[in-house]
Structure 1
Amino acid sequence: MASETQNSPFIKSLASSDKEIRDQALDSLRTYLSSRAEMSELDLLKLWKGLFYCLWMQDKPAHQQRLSRDLASLVSTLQPALVLPFLSSFWKTMAREWGNIEALRMDKYLFLIRQYVNSSLRYISRNNWGDEKRIEACMQVFGETPLSPVDVKVPNGMRYHVLDVYVDELEKVGDETWDVGVLERLLGPVERLKKESRDKAVRKAAQETLDDERLKVWRGEVVEDTEMKENGEGEEEEWGGIED
């Protein structure tokens, strides 16, 4: 089992200003995690608390973004049984620490969240979105923490940001031939948030996400602008002036 003592050496090194030290620490962390078939929730939360403050200590924007991408890439190295507990611990850590994030540090955590939305969707997109149990389990993680309609411990600011980036990251991971059934399952936590949240502003934000024009295109409800232009539809005739 992991322990805070075992985790701390490479976590501290990830915050180093020396790229070589950071890269070595990341390799060590990947090796460490990939060798674990399971970890307790307590150990995962300890790990994520360390990783959270590792990013906290990183001041240079380029290094912040690199570290966020590196942390999101850890998902692809995990053994299957550890992926969802790891993701759940990430979201629980973000929810717990959100109120402590200073305004000047917020951007780097918003970027980290975007990366984790993306890595979560990439995880369930394997095999052409064919693993329904994996999709359902990952959507349950979203619905239990970042998009929970009932958990008062989840900050609305985090909910809003996940809603803001959700369709963007779906677009990056998906393709032009979405299976509508898969798409609706991926939108399930957003639908539930729209229906069950007690906060009117949260319900409105969820509705705005569901009203995104890209979703209508993927469902085949509207034709993309580029296709309309190719077919000569929707274009205004050029005005040629007043004829004599």
Structure 2
Amino acid sequence: MATEAQNSPFIKNLASSDKRTRDQALNSLRAYLSAQTQISELDLLKLWKGLFYCLWMQDKPHLQNRLSTDLASLPSTLRPTVVLPFLRAFYITIAREWVNIEALRMDKYLFLIRQYVNASFKWLASTKWDQDLVRQWNHMVEETPLHPKDMKVPNGLRYHVLDVLLDELEKVEDTWDDKREVLGLIMEPVERLAKEGILKPVRLAAKECLADDRLKVWRGEEANKDDEMGEDEEEEWGGIED
């Protein structure tokens, strides 16, 4: 049970300053999680509360980043049935604890969130962007970090996910067989937020994300624009008159 994992010494040992102790703790956590075919939401939330405060206790910047990177490696070791519930519990925990994160500790959690956005895309890439799984991921994202109407979701979390979304998506660009199809699905939560977000600043942030030049390039829109410009210039060119 995750309750046992939360109370286990290896959770606290993840924040150890000793590399060997940290590595052993991470290996124990991976072994425990990879053996599970199903974990209840309650147990996952208890586990993530332990992991959240494990990072909270880590004060050394280089170890904070290492711990975040290590935690973000966990989804790749999970059984397929556990990945999305695990990611969902992560976002629920971050949203719940957001108000308690002090300014001096915020950077490490922002880095952790970035790593988890990246981990999500790597996992979806490993499934060859299975449409059903992408839709399930969308539902999970719309439920917590990018929920358009739930005021319990911190706007700071919404803004940060929007800020890093395309940066991390760009890192898996070479895994897309059909860019338009993948983008059409993966950007649906942002489009919904841009249309249905209760607060205007949140809607504007979502629209800025959707207006990013990288999306235009991936969809081939700039290339088409260049082609049109080339055709216009060719039509206007009349050659050298005698």
Which residue does the alignment assign to 2:233? Answer: none
TM-score, structure 1 normalization = 0.88
1:127-177 per-residue CA deviation (whole Å, 9 max, x = no partner) reads 432x11111111111111001102111100000000000010110112286
Question: Per-residue deviation at 1:2?
Answer: 2.4
CA–CA separation in structure 2 for the residues paired with 1:63 and 1:122? 23
Identify which range, 143-152 or 120-129, moves more after superposition. 120-129
Report Cα offsets for 1:100-119 as digits up to 9, x if no partner.
00001100000000000000
Matched, 1:30 2:30: yes
Paired position in structure 1 for 2:132? 133
Pairing 1:70-85 to 2, within 5 Å after superposition: 70-85=70-85
Distance 1:127 1:88, change over 3 A: closer
Q: Secondary structure at the match of 2:152?
A: coil
- In structure 2, the partner of 1:205 is 205
Work out the CA distance in 2 between the residues paired with 1:167 and 1:148.
18
Task: Give the Cα separation in 2 of the matches to 1:127 and 1:91.
Answer: 21
Distance 1:156 1:6, change over 3 A: closer
Tell me how far 1:8 sits from its aligned partner.
2.9
Question: Which residue of 2 is the match for residue 187 of structure 1?
Answer: 187
Q: CA deviation at 1:7?
A: 4.1
Q: Residue type matched to 1:170 in 2? A: L
User: What is the DSSP-based 3-state SS (H/G/I as helix, E as strand, rest coil) of the residue aligned with 2:171?
Assistant: helix
- Structure 1 distance, partners of 2:194, 2:34, is 37
Distance 2:104 2:9 in 1: 27
Which letter does structure 2 place at the counterpart of 1:152? M
Structure 1: tracts of 5 or more residues without a match: 232-244
Separation (CA, whole Å) in 2 of partners of 1:162 and 1:170 = 12
Q: Residue type matched to 1:163 in 2? A: L
TM-score (norm 2): 0.89
The AA in structure 2 aligned to 1:164 is D
Give secondary structure in 2 for the equivalent of 1:88: helix
Query: What residue is the counterpart of 2:235 in the other structure?
Result: none
CA RMSD of aligned residues (A): 1.9
5+ residue gaps, structure 2, are: 231-242
Post-superposition CA distance 1:24-79 (Å, at most 9, x none) = 00000000000001111111000000000000111111111111011010000000
Contact 2:6 2:47 (C-alpha < 8 Å) held by counterparts: no
Counterparts of residues 1-244 of structure 1 (less than 5 Å): 1-4=1-4, 7-129=7-129, 131-175=130-174, 178-223=178-223
C-alpha distance in structure 2 between counterparts of 1:199 and 1:60, whole Å: 36
Aligned length: 226
Question: 1:209-236 deviations in whole A, cap 9, x for unaligned?
Answer: 0000000000000049xx99xx9xxxxx
**C-alpha distance in structure 2 between counterparts of 1:120 and 1:99, whole Å:** 24
In the aligned structure 2, how far is the partner of 1:92 from the partner of 1:2?
16
**Going by fraction, where is helix more abundant, 1 or 2?**
2
Counterpart amino acid of residue 132 in structure 2: K
